[in-house]
Amino acid sequence: MKLSASLRRALAGALALGSASLGLSVLTPAVAHASGRPAFQLPVTCNQTWQVSTYAGHEPAYSVDLNHPAGDEGRPVLASAGGVVKQAGASGNWAGNHVLIDHGGGWTTHYAHLSTVKVGVGDRVDAADAVGAVGNTGNSQGSHLHYQQTLNGAGQPVTFNGVAYGYGGDTDFTSRNCGQKRDGVGMWEPRSHGFHLRNTATPGGNDAGEFVFGADGMTPVTGDWDGVGADGVGMYEKATATFHLRNAANAGATDVRVRFGSPGDVPVTGDWDGNGTVTIGVWRPSNHTFYLSNSNTQPRADMEFVYGAGGMQPIAGNWDGVRGDGIGMYDPSTHKVYLRNTPSAGGNDHEMSFGSAGDIAVPGDFDADGKDTVALWRPSNHTFYVNNSNTDNVADSSFVFGATGMVPVAGDWDGM
């Protein structure tokens, strides 16, 4: 049974009264907004919105709890800033599984009640590196992330992306912790139904795995379907207008099967409402219309608008680095890219020429700058051309990956 937030906080507050005897000294409150503070970010997946809260008697001083509206257990916990891991693993006290990071200048951050820990003592981490997953260990009375910022051992009022939490109630914060998360590339082979995935957009092997998923007559799609911070795979069956989504990028069964669109539609997926979860959509060639849904389980056309023209390939991505994905089109006959920053009717916010006739567009954030750009895969030579700035005819890198007949994809397979 999951306790209500208010009951969980009350119980945790009572248990925290004994925190000193359990092995962690209670920190003395310090003055607000201490100088020299690192640029701390919300310690969760980029663009997700989480509730930050506290309660009377919450210890150590200036501690806060973080909760996601769709559930917390297992969601990635990210480093708020770069530093060196000083403590990691089972604390043996109220914190349960925890991580403590030293950011230099006397500053540390503490992440408690984790279900799993993904770093070890001495590891160097960057902002947005995964350090663990949200859990319910220690004295926790329900899955949540307990979090602190301290200076020279004294608790400090927390800030995220320069915005201070007011310690007056529940406050929603949207993560801008996008530092090192980047997309890799992959291929789907229609004959074997096999995915071949790589964690980066660089030359090399299938370090993110090889596995079978899908069937004849399907088109591959990718996205963070459950909002946990890593992309899963999926397929769109055009004949029946059915999405088959798997929450992970590995072998296994379909997690969500849902019909959306009409036979012959082209699938397109994105975080249309900016809540950190990628949802389904289609583009209909017969009327050049996007139909986009904000839900993967109870889909409806929350957005419906005309964009593009016949013969174009629909794409989606976070082109401007602002919350939520926009849409776009790639014309393989003229090798022109047309981008719009929002999933709505209107003109092009950006246009560029890139590639050669017959190329296939593959959007992604390949340089971890928080913005998606349009890469291309050329079937004639099996080569990716990566453009990290959406600039006319600029390929920042190129490499061979895949083979004849394969379909290119991109995604953040490892959540990092």
- Range 343-360 burial, b when 16+ CB lie within 10 A, else e: beeeeeebebebbeeebb
**Which pTM does this prediction carry?**
0.67
Q: What is the pLDDT of residue 416?
A: 66
Neighbours of 303 (CB within 10 A): 17
Neighbours of 310 (CB within 10 A): 8
pLDDT over 70, % of the chain? 90
pLDDT digits 0-9 by tens, 8-40: 443 444 333 333 322 222 222 233 344 478 889
CATH code of domain 184-411: 2.120.10
Of 184, 181, 206, the residue nearest 196 (C-alpha): 206
* pLDDT at residue 66 is higher than 90: yes
Q: Where is 282: in which H helix or E strand?
A: strand 281-284
DSSP state string for 289-326: EEEE-S-SSS---SEEEE---TT-EEEEE-TTSSSS-E
Contact in structure between 396 and 407 (CB atoms under 8 Å): no
Q: Regarding predicted confidence, which is higher, 3 or 409? A: 409
pLDDT over 90, % of the chain? 77
In this structure, are strands 313-317 and 303-306 parallel, antiparallel, or unpaired? unpaired
Q: What is the pLDDT of residue 276?
A: 78
Domain 5-174 part of CATH 2.70.70.10 = yes
pLDDT digits 0-9 by tens, 345-376: 999 999 999 999 999 999 999 988 888 999 99
Provide the edge-to-edge strand list for the sheet that holds 313-317: 313-317, 326-331, 336-340, 350-353
* Domains of the chain by residue range: 5-174, 184-411
* pLDDT at residue 298 is higher than 90: no
* pLDDT at residue 231 is higher than 70: yes
